[in-house]
Amino acid sequence: MREKMKKFIVEPEFWELFPETQIGIVLAKNIDNSMESSTEIKKNLDEANENAEQFLGAAVFRENPVVSVWRKAYQQFKTKKGARSSIENLLKRVDKGKAVGSINPLVDIYNSISLNYGLPAGGEDIDTFAGNLRLTKAVGGEHFLALGDDEADNALSGEICYLDDEGAVCRSWNWRDGQRTMLTEHTKNAFLIIESVDPERGDVLEAATQKLAELSEKYLGGTAQVLLVTKENPEISLD
C-alpha cells in the first residue's frame, strides 16, 4: 500500500493571529549533509555575522525593527518565559560580540541566510516527520525534547508551535527545535523555512528563500524546490 503523502499545513488558528505572515519554504531533496562545513561555507557564515550589524543600529537592542516586530508577534500567544524568536537570539549573540559558529553545513547555510537578511530561518529532517507538519496552536502537553536537553519540556496550551503526530517539532513558533527532527549528518531530505511577519519585507523574504535554495544545491547537491506559504495558500506537499 502506497504511503500517504506528507504535507505542511498552516492551520486557521495561526492565520487568525497572523494573517499577513509569509513563509518561504525550500524542500532540499537528495542532499549530502554528512561532511564538515567547507571553508567556503564557514567563510559565508563569518561574513554573515559581520553583515548582521546592519540590523543593530538602535541604542536599545529590543528597539531594532527586526527584533521589535517579533517581540510584538510573540505577545500574541502563550510562550514559555523568556522565549524569543530565533533571529533575536542570533542577533543578541552578534550584539554581544559572540559570533554564531559552525554546526553542520545545512545549519550553517540557513544561519548565514538568517543573519544576512534579518529573518528567522530553520530546518528539519523531512524523513523524521510523523504524518503532516502543522503550524498551529498547541492543545498543550505535546511531547517535546529540545536540542541539548535530557528531559522533555512539553508544549503549552495556546502556544504557537510546529507539530506533527508525535508531538512538537519546534516550540514557540521558531524559538527552539527538538532533537527528534533535527538536521544531522544523516539527513537526506530537508524542510528549510524562513518566516516574515512584516508585510513590507515580502521581497526580502523571497530573495532570502531563493538564496537559501541556491546555496543548498551549490554545497550539498540534490535539488531545492522553492515554495511560498500564505493565508491564501496555506498548505504544500512535502513529497
63/86 Cα distance (integer angstroms): 16
The answer, yes or no, to whether residue 142 has pLDDT greater than 70, is yes
Mean pLDDT of 147-165: 95
Grid cell listed for 118:
534579518
Query: How high is the pLDDT of residue 27?
Result: 98
Query: How high is the pLDDT of residue 4?
Result: 74
Mean pLDDT of 83-95: 97
Q: List pLDDT tens digits, range 17-34.
A: 999 999 999 999 999 999
The answer, yes or no, to whether residue 44 has pLDDT greater than 50, is yes
Q: How confident is the model at residue 189 (pLDDT cuts 50, 70, 90)?
A: very high
What are the helix (H) ranges across 52-176? 65-74, 86-95, 105-117
The answer, yes or no, to whether residue 2 has pLDDT greater than 60, is no
Mean pLDDT of 205-231: 98
Query: How high is the pLDDT of residue 231?
Result: 97
Strand, coil or helix: what is 134?
strand
The answer, yes or no, to whether residue 111 has pLDDT greater than 50, is yes
Phi, psi (rounded to 5 degrees) for 145 = -115, 110
The answer, yes or no, to whether residue 1 has pLDDT greater than 50, is no
236/126 Cα distance (integer angstroms): 13
Mean pLDDT of 221-227: 98
pTM (2 d.p.): 0.96
Q: Are 25 and 235 spatial neighbours (Cβ–Cβ below 8 Å)?
A: no
Burial 141-167 (b: 16+ CB within 10 A, else e): ebebbbeeeeeeeebbeebbbbbbebb
Strand, coil or helix: what is 191?
strand
CATH class of 7-237: alpha beta
Mean pLDDT of 186-202: 97
The answer, yes or no, to whether residue 50 has pLDDT greater than 80, is yes
Q: List pLDDT tens digits, range 114-131.
A: 999 999 999 999 999 999
The secondary structure element, H or E, covering residue 229 is strand 223-229
Mean pLDDT of 88-106: 97
Mean pLDDT of 190-204: 97
